[in-house]
């Protein structure tokens, strides 16, 4: 675990390495989300940057961290454009592999008038992320203050990451989302989470916490509560009042901002407050990431 700088020492930005997914989002805006079997007309469709890994890397960068992203995109125009965007934001993409055998991942997102959403993901190149990608990023992982991952890449890659980070001083933040939809996958995930150290963090929403049986009073469990804010080891930080446009990516903004705060040495309360505020503000723009934010 990283330690805060001594009194009088200038704060440094902190180093965050994100291992995760890159998706191009196709966002459809609707009056209301469709019920099962219902057909509705969209008011419009836009393309935008997404994927939990890239969203979290962008959020950590917005929060001031030095960020590297480990993952894969396809050898297609969408992958090249996304890499260029991340480079422009100041995210290190040296370990973002171009996969010749799979397309860049994608997500279809339905957003209603209240900003609530439903999401369907096509894995694409994200499904090929494995231990070789982790091994290739050994140097940046060894230099990280915080390593952040999620579950839009295979659990084998997450397992390899835990092995790689164990001998380093980095703190692990695992956003356990999406939860595997099969019993074997959940059993494997529980085994991996059981390997986390006392200073590592599991970020989940309330539904995911219940699915995984995570105790609210476990100091490693940080639970997002939607408009109510977030809870970490018994402490609850309420969300500021906002007028939401789109909740897509709010959880990713929370996780990336939390990682950045921890990387620069913030304590639990300060990191939680910063992450809750950033997540709330992220609902005021359309899409998972704001376009054109400064690096």
Catalytic position from the list 25, 99, 200, 252: 252
Q: Is the pLDDT of residue 25 over 90?
A: no
CATH of the domain at 175: 3.40.1190.20
For 79, residues 6+ apart whose C-beta sits below 8 A from its C-beta are 22, 73, 98, 103, 104, 125
Residue 292 pLDDT grade (very low, low, confident, very high; cuts 50, 70, 90):
low
Three-class SS state of 36? coil
DSSP H helical ranges for 63-182: 77-89, 131-136, 138-142, 155-165
**Which H or E element spans position 27?**
strand 23-29
Q: Is residue 1 part of a domain?
A: no
Q: Which domain holds residue 198?
A: 15-35+45-282
Q: Is residue 229 part of a domain?
A: yes
Q: Is residue 291 part of a domain?
A: no
Residue 291 pLDDT grade (very low, low, confident, very high; cuts 50, 70, 90):
low
Question: Taking the chain, what is the end-to-end CA distance rounded to the nearest angstrom?
Answer: 26
- What gap in Å lies between CA 153 and CA 150, rounded to an integer? 7
Q: What is the pLDDT of residues 115-151, one digit of tens each?
A: 888 888 899 999 999 999 999 999 999 999 999 999 9
Number of domains in the chain: 1
List C-alpha distances in Å: 66 to 38, 141, 158, 228. Answer: 45, 13, 22, 30
Q: Is residue 9 part of a domain?
A: no
Q: Is residue 215 part of a domain?
A: yes
How buried is 120 (Cβ within 10 angstroms: 0-12 exposed, 13-18 middle, 19+ buried)?
A: exposed
Q: Are the CB atoms for 111 and 129 separated by under 8 Å?
A: no
- What gap in Å lies between CA 1 and CA 244, rounded to an integer? 35
Q: Has 99 been annotated as catalytic?
A: no
DSSP H helical ranges for the chain: 52-62, 77-89, 131-136, 138-142, 155-165, 183-193, 206-212, 250-263, 268-282
Instruction: Write down the residue that tokens 């929370």 correspond to.
Output: 254
Q: What is the pLDDT of residues 72-83, one digit of tens each?
A: 999 999 999 999
The reported pLDDT for the residue numbered 144 is: 98
Q: Is residue 178 part of a domain?
A: yes
Instruction: Quote the pTM value.
Output: 0.88
Q: What is the pLDDT of residues 137-194, one digit of tens each?
A: 999 999 999 999 999 999 999 999 999 999 999 999 999 999 999 999 999 999 999 9
Q: Is residue 230 part of a domain?
A: yes
Virtual CA dihedral for 58, 63, 64, 70, nearest 10 degrees? -30
How many Cβ atoms sit within 10 Å of the Cβ of residue 245?
Answer: 16
Q: Is the pLDDT of residue 5 over 70?
A: no
SS3 string, 218-265, reads CCCEEEECHHHCEEECCEEECCCCCCCCCCCCHHHHHHHHHHHHHHCC
The reported pLDDT for the residue numbered 217 is: 84
Which range, 124-128, 233-237, 285-289, is most confident?
124-128
The reported pLDDT for the residue numbered 246 is: 75
Q: Is residue 112 part of a domain?
A: yes
The reported pLDDT for the residue numbered 73 is: 98
- What gap in Å lies between CA 67 and CA 79, rounded to an integer? 19
Instruction: Kindly state the tokens that stand for 136.
Output: 């290739």
């Amino acid at each position: 675990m990283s330690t805060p700088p001594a009194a009088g020492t200038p704060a440094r930005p902190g180093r965050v390495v994100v291992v995760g997914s890159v998706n191009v989002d196709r966002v459809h805006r609707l009056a209301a989300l469709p019920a099962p079997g219902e057909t509705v007309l969209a008011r419009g469709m836009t393309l935008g940057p997404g994927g939990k890994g890239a969203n979290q890397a962008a959020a950590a960068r917005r929060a001031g961290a030095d960020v590297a992203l480990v993952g894969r995109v396809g050898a297609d125009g969408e992958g090249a454009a996304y890499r260029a965007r991340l480079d422009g934001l100041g995210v290190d993409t040296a370990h973002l592999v171009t996969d010749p055998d799979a397309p860049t991942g994608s997500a279809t997102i339905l957003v209603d008038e209240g900003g609530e959403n439903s999401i369907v993901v096509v894995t694409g190149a994200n499904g090929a992320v494995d231990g070789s990608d982790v091994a290739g990023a050994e140097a940046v992982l060894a230099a990280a203050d915080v390593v952040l991952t999620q579950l839009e890449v295979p659990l084998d890659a997450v397992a390899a990451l835990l092995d790689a980070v164990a001998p380093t001083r980095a703190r692990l933040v695992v956003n356990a989302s999406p939860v595997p939809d099969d019993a074997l996958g959940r059993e494997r995930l529980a085994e991996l989470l059981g390997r986390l150290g006392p200073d590592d963090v599991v970020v989940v929403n309330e539904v995911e916490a219940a699915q995984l049986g995570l105790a609210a009073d476990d100091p490693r469990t940080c639970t997002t509560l939607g408009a109510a804010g977030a809870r970490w080891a018994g402490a609850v930080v309420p969300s500021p009042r906002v007028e939401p446009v789109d909740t897509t990516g709010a959880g990713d903004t929370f996780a990336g901002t939390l990682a950045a705060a921890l990387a620069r040495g913030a304590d639990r309360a300060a990191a939680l407050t910063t992450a809750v505020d950033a997540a709330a503000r992220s609902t005021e723009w359309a899409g998972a990431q704001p376009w054109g934010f400064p690096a």
